[in-house]
Amino acid sequence: MSTVDLRVNIGGLQLKNPVLTASGTFGYGIEFQSFGDLNALGGVVVKGTTLEPRAGNPPQRVVETAAGMLNSIGLENPGVDYFLEHYLPQLRSLGVTTIVNMAGNSVAEYCELAERLQQPGIAALELNISCPNVKAGGMAFGTSEKLVEEVVSQVKEHSRLPLIVKLSPNVTDIARIAQAAEAAGADALSLINTLLGMAVDHRTRRPILGNVVGGLSGPAIKPVALRMVWQVAQAVQIPVIGIGGIMTAADALEFIICGASAIQVGAANFVEPVAAWQIIDGIAAYLKENGMTDIKQLIGSLEI
């Protein structure tokens, strides 16, 4: 046996392998061209995109932790117009499977973004529902089943592309949130987004991040992410994409065994720029070593 089939279908989106790069950790993909063939990846999830340019949060924005990092970037990005004019043509010319992470502060913003992103070269949309809903007093969309159903169903009406809903871990019952997204028409789910945390300088007795709190990512959150992926994969019928502390092929395999049809590599990109390519090779090697011909034989194979 010389080859294995790594292809997976994510809500109608056919990927050549299950390894994607996570939004906010891989730029627009273009920045990583010198490290490997972008077209060899399952896909690139580009930096969170909003309707208008955003300056982001005040510095300091990143803090290294014992087993990961805290970030409080604040969705800094040049806006959808700039993305469509400058980045998308480059990604399209490279043949990269491009998934656009979209963020908004109201249902209307999400819907307008979805319409603007119905462009050749965009394979799917990833809906960031960790954003605050300004009309709901700042409550994050992803913490309320009602808000999740509202934004997902409305965005679906404005898009013909596969819709991946990215879930926040900062909830009481993530399975119920996942089911709400599925009922509203989500084609797939990605989880988890970052866990809310903070860092303090004991010498000054002040918070280190300019925004006081930020999102924790990296190996520290892997056990939580793995548990949530396992719970959600059992609760829904649509594909699940695992995210959270995936640094190696072994990490990725654990998520796949727990029910993830694909995974996203995030914080690892900061410390090992070729991590995603290494993980693809490692998954293929594992399948061969274990006499498997197809990645689908491994998905959800956890034995309890």
Domains of the chain: residue spans and CATH = 8-55+75-196+218-297 (3.20.20.70)
Residue 83 in contact with residue 63, Cβ under 8 Å? no
Average pLDDT, the chain: 96
pLDDT at 2 over 90: no
pLDDT band at 142 (very low <50, low <70, confident <90, very high): very high
pLDDT at 229 over 70: yes
pLDDT band at 26 (very low <50, low <70, confident <90, very high): very high
155-205 pLDDT, tens digit each: 999 999 999 999 999 999 999 999 999 999 999 999 999 999 999 999 999
131 is catalytic: yes
Residue 262 in contact with residue 20, Cβ under 8 Å? yes
Q: Which amino acid is at 116?
A: R
Mean pLDDT of the 279-296 span: 98
| Per-residue model confidence (pLDDT) at position 199 | 97
pLDDT band at 1 (very low <50, low <70, confident <90, very high): very low
Question: One of 131, 148, 155, 276 is an active-site residue; which one?
Answer: 131
Report the DSSP beta bridge partners of residue 232.
none
pLDDT at 31 over 70: yes
66-122 pLDDT, tens digit each: 999 999 999 999 999 999 999 999 999 999 999 999 999 999 999 999 999 999 999
| Percentage of the chain exceeding pLDDT 90 | 95
Q: Indicate the pTM of the whole model.
A: 0.97
| Per-residue model confidence (pLDDT) at position 130 | 86
CA dist list (Å): 84 to 90, 121, 159:
10, 10, 16
Mean pLDDT of the 219-229 span: 98
5-14 pLDDT, tens digit each: 999 999 999 9
Mean pLDDT of the 22-49 span: 97
pLDDT band at 131 (very low <50, low <70, confident <90, very high): confident
CA dist list (Å): 37 to 14, 40, 135, 226, 284:
18, 5, 43, 28, 17
What token pair was written down for 181? 């997204």
CA dist list (Å): 74 to 62, 131, 180, 212:
11, 10, 26, 12
From the list 68, 27, 4, 33, the residue with the least C-alpha distance to 277 is: 33
